């Protein structure tokens, strides 16, 4: 069974979700931040990464 190719927008959406989850896990482990929250440094990193994906 062949899957239909994903559009660029679908790929970007998946990539944003993946990078966001990776940053959340990293921040929780390394910076001991509460679940569901990011420290200011990681929040800046996430904003930067999502902006780069959009470009």
Q: pTM score, two decimals?
A: 0.84
* Two structure tokens written together for 41: 């440094």
Q: Per-residue pLDDT tens for 20-43?
A: 999 999 999 999 999 889 999 999
* Two structure tokens written together for 11: 């790929």
Selection from 25, 51, 48 nearest residue 36 by Cα:
25
Q: Per-residue pLDDT tens for 15-25?
A: 999 999 999 99
Query: In which element (H, E) is residue 3 found?
Result: none
């Amino acid at each position: 069974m062949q899957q239909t190719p994903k559009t660029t927008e679908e790929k970007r959406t998946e990539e944003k979700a993946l990078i966001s989850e990776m940053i959340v896990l990293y921040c929780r482990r390394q910076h001991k931040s509460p679940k569901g929250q990011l420290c200011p440094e990681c929040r800046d990193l996430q904003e930067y990464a999502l902006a780069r994906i959009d470009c």
